[in-house]
Structure 1
Amino acid sequence: MISFSRYLPILSWGRHYDRSALSNDMVAAVIVTIMLIPQSLAYALLAGLPPEAGIYASIAPIMLYAIFGTSRALAVGPVAVVSLLTASAIGQVAEAGTAGYAIAALTLAGVSGVFLLLLGVFRLGFLANFLSHPVIAGFITASGILIATSQLKHILGVSAHGHTLPEMLGSLLAHLDQINWITVVIGTSATGFLFWVRGNLKPLLKGLGAGPLLTDLVAKSGPVAAVVATTLAVWAFGLDQAGVSVVGSVPQSLPPLTLPGLSPDLISALLVPAILISVIGFVESISVAQTLAAKKRQRVDPDQELIGLGAANLGAAFTGGFPVTGGFSRSIVNFDAGAETPAAGIYTAIGLAIASFALTPLVFYLPQATLAATIIVAVLSLVDFSILKKTWGYARADFTAVVSTILLTLGMGVEVGVASGVAISILLHLYKTSRPHVAEVGLVPGTQHFRNVKRHAVETSPHVLSLRVDESLYFVNARFLETLVQSRVTTGCDIKDVVLMFSAVNEVDFSALESLEAINLRLIDMGVGLHLSEVKGPVMDRLQRTHFIDELNGDVFLSQFDAWTHLMSAKPTAR
């Protein structure tokens, strides 16, 4: 049972499921379902797919995640950034509105699902760490701007296109003569109302004495109210005949069984976008899941989360959906509404299934401008320019990474933005570790502690150079240490011994070993001893497998103080 529970978390939490959890999960499911109906339709629109695809992508994936996922509160389904990435990816292989476009969306979900499952099975979740937080923040901010801009055409009622910010703005300006002012009124009114609901409705209800449950339910129903009001207005006044674009006919059915495209050419064309979508989706999902789990002292297994998200995406691929991941806003709502177990997701899926079968005729007159307003209000919360100020004040390299990611995403599209974000994250790490901090240290008087000579009043000796290496040594920075030691031990100086303090060194790769050997040989030629201190066990184990320790022109000391005491016993000290 333990081994099955590891891969099927439902067997773990399901054994302790009780009436109290059922009640809390049902309440959360009602609130999230109300929120998801307009949101799912809107994100399908963003992905360039029929509106029902958003509903379909929110049913089977949620159920599958509830079985395989480990988060008690994560709500899986279409999200803004992944929907934008989906539109960008499949728009390059098929034309929107065609059968090939829908098949490409299914294939993209399927490839993403397989990739996530493989990462989970082989426990490779750590690969997502190659995306630094500043780069992720920059990409999400730029994506929020792109998504909001892409929806302006629906607010204005014009035909526009483009995948980058300059393309979108240029296309909008070129079609300003097509503006439908009735659509503008509907879109701006819905946007203003939704912003008001988000910021003011909950405090107003609390001031009127409403209970927390009623407050949450009414506040989260804001998008539904906008949908109902604008739909009734279009229907009552026949505004669709006046040029207002509406959702139109939506199939009244449960999610169909579908089959992704199996063409090698299609799969190869979507492979890289699928990997990028998987990585971005997983990073967003695991961040939300771990944040919510920490609030209740629960544990989330990143590798099992990969399996859960992989299963969810495969579910979307075979039930008419498109790529999905854990959504930030809906997960927060699910958590705040009191969800105790993933069963809340199952109840949400049942609610959406009922909606897809019974309520879809009611959205025929739903204006696309209202769905666009829903998207704009949702994604603008993703835009966070404060990261620029924070990184500028803390680390200019991180600031450069954020700005580069934002500009590349806005100027060249989301796929280039994601790819460049990964590359920038890796290059940033390589840059930071290529010049490791190496401090000359001395003895703090009256103690056995050694500190940086530039920061503390310490005892040093003109005959002993003690260097504390504050980074693991590998091929990128090996020559840096070699050059540094060479520059400090020059002809005519009084240094007779060099001590490398390895207290912060967790790894020495083969390139670094060769550099240490080169340092040792050069110091031998100069008549200078090379010593090591505070070498960690795993590092020492590896060094002892080579001839380096035997050929070392010095000793290996347990502590820096031992090295100092031994070398000072024959040499005078100076302050």
Structure 2
Amino acid sequence: MLMRAAQFLPILGWAHSYGREQLSNDLMAAVIVTIMLIPQSLAYALLAGLPPEAGLYASIAPIILYAIFGTSRALAIGPVAVVSLLTASAVGQVAEQGSAGYAVAALTLAFLSGGFLLLLGLFRLGFLANFLSHPVIAGFITASGILIAASQLKHIFGVNAHGHTLLEILLSLASHLHELNWITLLIGVSAAAFLFWARKGLKPGLLRLGASGRLADVLTKAGPVAAVVATTVAVWALNLSSQGVKIVGEVPQSLPPLTMPGFAPDLLGALLVPAILISVIGFVESVSVAQTLAAKKRQRIDPDQELIGLGAANIGAAFTGGYPVTGGFARSVVNFDAGAETPAAGAFTAFGLAVASLVLTPLVYFLPNATLAATIIVAVLSLVDFSILRKTWEYSRADFIAVSATILLTLGLGVEIGVASGVAISVLLHLYKTSTPHVAEVGRVPGTEHFRNILRHEVETNPTVLSLRVDESLYFVNARFLEDLVYSRIADGSELKHIVLMFSAVNEVDYSALESLEAINHRLKDLEIGLHLSEVKGPVMDRLKRSHFIDDLNGQVFLSQQNAWNALSGVTTSRDA
């Protein structure tokens, strides 16, 4: 009974064996992740166009709900850069930033995203995310990283700029450069330089000074906090806000409030498609991270239950003043490296952030927006990976075209069109690859029962027998391709008496493909050429037997290609190709 309940409430699977050692490791991981998340949550809320407290709120209830329903032991839930950018893009089209309607729209977006993820999880449809190929995801994340970094330059420069595409952002920045605030620029550049150095050079420096590895890790992860403290103190002490340096200002000193998303039909209709796109992107990113970390400890996750966990987290965000969330790569890796044993580490992190919301928010009044922008820029530039272009160019030109198109469309037309194009390109790429399946003419390797491609091996063939190995399942997209191939070979082979379709790699034959096979069979029967099948898998044969195809087949079904060779082949010749 407990095991069955644990399928739907994974917390029951680990909570009953929770001990002192797990508690100690989870608490340490929570301390490190909390230190990292405080400035990061504030920064990502800024990126989403929301008040800074929304980032903290989105990191409390969602984490707790995921700890109950999620299956990953190390995944850290909360606002992430790409989803924050998508939120700003989607909500900015229905409400003006800074208005009450903007906040309600963000809540509604989280609600719709959570509901969509829950539906996918309840109907066990996690496999649908597989249609978004990894190269396309990598291209979209790279382009999004560039867009996010560019969008934050206005805070570094202290100017009013806008834009949803790279060109719009750059042109807007150029037109407002006369507003440049040199003090803001100094703060932003200094904070960014420090954060870049802290990410690469702080830990080795601390280790050289004799600090322990754990202490060096904690202090390195606290780098953004140090930047926040230093720049906030500087702004307060020197009264820089009076000289045009924009600051966070007053942040409510409270726990996440109870909030209500909007249910107006017009609002739901406008946000439905963006919510679906955010859900797909968030789920793919989250599951990729969770599977990678789980593999390191020989654990496993359930993608369908992950959908439910992420759905619950987003619905929790919708009713507690947040916005769409997912599993973040950077914070999850930090959580894992810090020693998190169970999802309880996330719950402890949520408690730490709740304390920060109650106690620490007055301290960020003088925090400059330039520092938060620097935090975002440093974080997202690690996502930019142009090596994917070189790798796909060398390995697969089709994947290279998909990656390039996704990057260019995202940068040139915006994130929503970019991610929608990425989904479409992924599906079209799959259809293109399967529409022209690899079909090899095979012959027997001399002295063996192995049959290989005549263009790659020295094999035995017979001019009266044509053996074709079909290396793809047959369905409506590629059925006509097989027809055309067989008919072209009929025209070339005057001595041909038998055609054998080797189905060892065919896992499915849909009705369109069945009709094509029937058409081939009738055509060959009229030409007095036998059509034979070999090595047909059981489920495929079961499906074929439910039709009249096997009864009408102008030939035989052979258990193996060797049996077909023995039965149909007379005089053999050697062919070297």
TM-score over 0.5 for the pair = yes
Structure 2 contact 151–169 (Cα < 8 Å) conserved: yes
Structure 1 contact 77–324 (Cα < 8 Å) conserved: yes
- What letter is aligned with 2:140? F
Structure 2 contact 458–574 (Cα < 8 Å) conserved: no
**1:84-114 alpha-carbon deviations (Å, 9 max, x no partner):** 0000000000000000000000000011111
Instruction: Tell me the residue number matched to 2:554.
Output: 553
**1:186-240 alpha-carbon deviations (Å, 9 max, x no partner):** 0000000000000111111222221121011000000000000000000000000
- What letter is aligned with 2:446? P
Instruction: Tell me the residue number matched to 1:485.
Output: 486
User: 1 CA distance for matches of 2:281 and 2:492?
Assistant: 54
Q: How many residues align?
A: 574
1:275-424 equivalences under 5 Å are: 275-424=276-425
Structure 1 contact 68–304 (Cα < 8 Å) conserved: yes
User: 2 CA distance for matches of 1:235 and 1:287?
Assistant: 42
- What letter is aligned with 1:531? H
Instruction: Tell me the residue number matched to 1:146.
Output: 147
Instruction: Tell me the residue number matched to 2:201.
Output: 200
Structure 1 contact 463–571 (Cα < 8 Å) conserved: no
User: 2 CA distance for matches of 1:259 and 1:79?
Assistant: 22
SS in 2 for 1:441: strand
User: 2 CA distance for matches of 1:207 and 1:272?
Assistant: 52
1:471-550 equivalences under 5 Å are: 471-490=472-491, 493-550=494-551
SS in 2 for 1:490: helix
Shift of residue 571, structure 1, vs aligned partner: 4.7
**1:233-263 alpha-carbon deviations (Å, 9 max, x no partner):** 0000000000000000000001000010011
Instruction: Tell me the residue number matched to 2:465.
Output: 464
SS in 2 for 1:530: strand
1:181-200 equivalences under 5 Å are: 181-200=182-201
SS in 2 for 1:284: helix
SS in 1 for 2:459: coil
Instruction: Tell me the residue number matched to 1:9.
Output: 10
Instruction: Tell me the residue number matched to 2:271.
Output: 270
Structure 2 contact 54–321 (Cα < 8 Å) conserved: yes
User: 2 CA distance for matches of 1:404 and 1:574?
Assistant: 47
User: 1 CA distance for matches of 2:431 and 2:74?
Assistant: 36
Instruction: Tell me the residue number matched to 1:130.
Output: 131
Structure 1 contact 112–274 (Cα < 8 Å) conserved: yes
Structure 1 contact 70–300 (Cα < 8 Å) conserved: yes
**1:241-292 alpha-carbon deviations (Å, 9 max, x no partner):** 0000000000000100001001111111100000000000000000000000
Instruction: Tell me the residue number matched to 2:260.
Output: 259
User: 2 CA distance for matches of 1:210 and 1:572?
Assistant: 76
**1:152-180 alpha-carbon deviations (Å, 9 max, x no partner):** 00000000000011110110011010000
User: 1 CA distance for matches of 2:572 and 2:560?
Assistant: 20
Shift in CA distance, 492/285, structure 1 to aligned 2, threshold 3 Å? closer
Shift in CA distance, 548/79, structure 1 to aligned 2, threshold 3 Å? same
SS in 2 for 1:384: coil
Structure 1 contact 462–574 (Cα < 8 Å) conserved: no
User: 1 CA distance for matches of 2:25 and 2:518?
Assistant: 65
User: 2 CA distance for matches of 1:494 and 1:533?
Assistant: 21
Instruction: Tell me the residue number matched to 1:214.
Output: 215
Instruction: Tell me the residue number matched to 2:40.
Output: 39
Q: Under a length normalisation based on structure 2, what TM-score does the superposition of the two structures give? A: 0.99
Shift in CA distance, 239/283, structure 1 to aligned 2, threshold 3 Å? same
User: 2 CA distance for matches of 1:4 and 1:502?
Assistant: 42
**1:110-157 alpha-carbon deviations (Å, 9 max, x no partner):** 111111111111110001001000000000000000000000000000
Structure 1 contact 66–346 (Cα < 8 Å) conserved: yes
User: 2 CA distance for matches of 1:71 and 1:542?
Assistant: 39
Percent same amino acid at aligned positions? 77
Structure 1 contact 47–83 (Cα < 8 Å) conserved: yes
SS in 2 for 1:353: helix
User: 1 CA distance for matches of 2:412 and 2:5?
Assistant: 48
Shift of residue 2, structure 1, vs aligned partner: 2.1
User: 1 CA distance for matches of 2:499 and 2:550?
Assistant: 15
Structure 1 contact 78–325 (Cα < 8 Å) conserved: yes
Shift of residue 527, structure 1, vs aligned partner: 1.2
- Cα RMSD over matched residues? 0.8
Shift of residue 3, structure 1, vs aligned partner: 2.2
SS in 1 for 2:461: coil
Tell me, which stretches of 5 or more residues in structure 2 are unaligned?
none
User: 2 CA distance for matches of 1:449 and 1:206?
Assistant: 59
User: 2 CA distance for matches of 1:347 and 1:296?
Assistant: 22
User: 2 CA distance for matches of 1:417 and 1:5?
Assistant: 38
- What letter is aligned with 2:55? G
User: 1 CA distance for matches of 2:213 and 2:331?
Assistant: 18
- What letter is aligned with 1:513? L
SS in 2 for 1:17: coil
User: 1 CA distance for matches of 2:544 and 2:320?
Assistant: 55
Structure 1 contact 155–183 (Cα < 8 Å) conserved: yes
User: 2 CA distance for matches of 1:259 and 1:522?
Assistant: 66
User: 2 CA distance for matches of 1:574 and 1:516?
Assistant: 30
User: 2 CA distance for matches of 1:522 and 1:111?
Assistant: 53
Shift of residue 572, structure 1, vs aligned partner: 4.8
Instruction: Tell me the residue number matched to 1:107.
Output: 108
Instruction: Please tell me whether residue 167 in structure 1 is matched to residue 168 in structure 2.
Output: yes
Q: Under a length normalisation based on structure 1, what TM-score does the superposition of the two structures give? A: 0.99
